[in-house]
Amino acid sequence: MDGFRPPRLQELPLNADPSAQLVLLDLQGQDATLAQLAHRRRTLPELTVIAELEQRAHELDSRRIELQTRVDDLGREQRKADAEVELVKTRRTRDEERLNSGQVSNPKDLESLQHELVALERRIGTLEDAELEVMESLESAETELAVVLEDLAGVAAEITTHAVTRDAAFADIDARTTEAAEERAVLAVSVPDDLLALYEKLRTQYGTGAAALRARRCEGCRLEINGADLREIATKPDDEVLRCPECSRVLVRTAESGL
């Protein structure tokens, strides 16, 4: 088995004019441009910034709902406390009127009325203290809510600013993409169908479908082709479609191949 080498260059029953093979390199160039543009569109820094801001807005909005609920609850509590105070005050007024009218003359009744007035006064004091406490809590919740609303508005404005930048970048990328796609379509017309099909298949498989052979190196995998393979390549007719023995991409011979 001395000197045996498996045939590493795949013998493809595929032939194409060398000029069509060279077009494949331009096509590869456009595909690389399109892939870069798609990558740029996906990884635009604005997208990360906007996602972070949206997360912040989401958190702030949860806090806003909490605070709004608290403000509503405290407002209701305050109105209830206020009504209670009013009720007791009405009763105090009525008792005072009875006391001042002179209608109550029985000393025992008078004493009882005066006791009630003292109790009502104390009750009003307690209720008003409680109401004040509710009002203070309400005020602090309203202040906090106002801050959150302001923060929310600030974040929303920031999102809008970054969205404008993002949309401008998208428009630029999309225009370049359309241009590259159009150029690609023009190039694809001059590549024979079978070669194009092979190219597309390899592109799906490896990311790139064709590479130039320059200075004995495959520009697809960047590996230098060994001497034996180079000698074999040199014997192949110009119109035979070759594959890189290392990476299997279509290997296109150029004037600088070093053969």
- Give me the residues that bind Zn ion (CB under 5 A), please: 218, 220-221, 244, 246-247
**DSSP string computed for 123-189:** HHHHHHHHHHHHHHHHHHHHHHHHHHHHHHHHHHHHHHHHHHHHHHHHHHHHHHHHHHHHHHHHHHH
Tokens of 11: 């013998």
Contact status, residue 218 vs residue 211, Cβ threshold 8 Å: yes
Distance of closest approach, residue 259 Cβ to Zn ion, in angstroms: 15
- Cα angle 105, 110, 116; round to 5: 150
Q: Which is nearer to Zn ion, 166 or 243 (CB)?
A: 243
- Cβ neighbors of 169 (< 8 A, separation 6 or more) are 44, 46
Distance of closest approach, residue 213 Cβ to Zn ion, in angstroms: 9
Q: Which is nearer to Zn ion, 28 or 78 (CB)?
A: 28
Contact status, residue 220 vs residue 244, Cβ threshold 8 Å: yes
Distance of closest approach, residue 212 Cβ to Zn ion, in angstroms: 10
CA distances from 141 to 72, 76, 126, 195 (A): 10, 14, 23, 72
Q: Which is nearer to Zn ion, 32 or 65 (CB)?
A: 32
Q: Which is nearer to Zn ion, 162 or 243 (CB)?
A: 243
Q: Which is nearer to Zn ion, 101 or 204 (CB)?
A: 204
Distance of closest approach, residue 246 Cβ to Zn ion, in angstroms: 4
CA distances from 159 to 34, 48, 118, 170 (A): 28, 11, 61, 16
Q: Which is nearer to Zn ion, 180 or 220 (CB)?
A: 220
